[in-house]
Amino acid sequence: MTPEHEILEKAIEALQRETNVAVYKKFFVHAKVDNRPNAELWIQLPEGENKKFLVDIKRTLTEVTASRLTRDYADNLQNHIFVTNYVHRKMAKTLKDLGIQFIDTAGNIFINSPPALIFIHGYPRKDFNYGLTYEEGMFGPAGLKVIFVLLCKRDLWNANYREIKTAAGVALGTVANIMKELTQKGYLIERTNKQKKLIRRKELLDKWTDAYVEKLRPKNILGRYKFTRPDFWQQADLTRLDALWGGETAAYMMTRYLKPEITIIYADRPFKDLILDLKLRRDNDGDVEIRERFWNFDTVEENQKIVPPILIYADLIATGDARNIETAQLIYDDYLKKHVGEN
């Protein structure tokens, strides 16, 4: 039995245990590609009506996955149910707010298919090994920096390794290893004119975002602060301080869609002058995050006031907040889709 089969079987057991409904399934034998479902599921309601869902099995459901699902299944999200190992309480609320139906192996459930409405959350994770593996290499912290600069700067695809090293701030040997791995895995190809090209960029962006949220983002925070002036970010000029707006603040500058609640500033060490100039005070629960800039190339967006859109997109998704995930989708549609969709 494959790990996917095991997850589905355990999740069905939990669904039946918590709701006392009859469940029937049909597992497809085709290889899983793109958005093709893994199975069909019929849930028999007390009134006798059978509700049919297309089943997509995800070993994990994260903020990144949620954003991806709202993007890729926008036209028929209500017909799908996503089956996974575990959904924690905060993630369950985010999925509910986004209209993403799910069941997990612990008994956490969201189904909204009238007349059925089921929302159960808060059960702890079950101790069960589903054969999960985590890639390092190009999806380790150093590799993520290399992929980031390649996704942001097309002129680096054919640059020498020293230029890539400078832009990504990693060792020269790391660049050589990551470029080799990108080639071996079919992301970096050499065309007939000897020019290299990064392809499957949408897939690479998705994997980069997932790994960034888990492995690199937690390490680049330098501190949290409280601002002493309301809406200080509307008057502050970061360009003279060699810093850039990120997260919700940068997203507002791009979309005017929502007013930021958490302000992210990317800066280099040391950043004492930045703190003094903006009159920030240290506060572990503050609404200003100072994060370390992990790349070394100029940005052109909004007169160099904000970080690259790929990073804004990833930081919004990392919050797990439904409104931020919706904003991330706007940024993807308006700024990233064409960039990563051209192969």
CATH code 3.30.460 region(s) in the chain: 220-341
- Rounded CA-CA distance 106/104 in Å is 6
Give φ, ψ of 210 to 5 degrees: -60, -50
What percentage of the chain exceeds 70 in pLDDT? 91
Three-state secondary structure readout of 221-251: EEEEEEECCCCHHHCCCCHHHCEEEEHHHHH
What percentage of the chain exceeds 90 in pLDDT? 44
Lowest mean pLDDT among 72-76, 157-161, 194-198, 310-314: 72-76
Q: b/e per residue, 256-288, with b = 16+ CB within 10 A?
A: eebebebbbbbbeeebeebbeebebeeeeebeb
CATH code 1.10.10.10 region(s) in the chain: 137-215
Beta-bridge partners for 225: 282, 288
Express each pLDDT in 92-115 by its tens digit.
998 998 899 999 999 999 999 887
Sign of the alpha-carbon torsion through 296, 268, 146, 305: negative
Question: What DSSP line would sit under 60-72, residue for residue?
Answer: ---HHHHHHHHHH
Max mean pLDDT range (15-29, 48-62, 152-166): 152-166
Longest pairwise C-alpha distance within the chain? 68
Q: What is the pLDDT at residue 34? A: 55
Q: What is the pLDDT at residue 47? A: 65
The DSSP output letter for 126 is P
Q: List CB contacts of 18: < 8 A, sequence separation 6 or more.
A: 107, 109, 120
- Rounded CA-CA distance 121/109 in Å is 6
Architecture of domain 137-215: Orthogonal Bundle (1.10)
Residue type, 156: L
Domain 220-341: which CATH number of 1.10.357, 1.10.1760, 3.30.460, 1.10.390: 3.30.460
Express each pLDDT in 147-197 by its tens digit.
999 999 999 999 999 999 999 999 999 999 999 999 999 999 988 788 999
Mode of pairing for the β-strands spanning 263-267 and 243-246: antiparallel
Q: pTM here?
A: 0.76
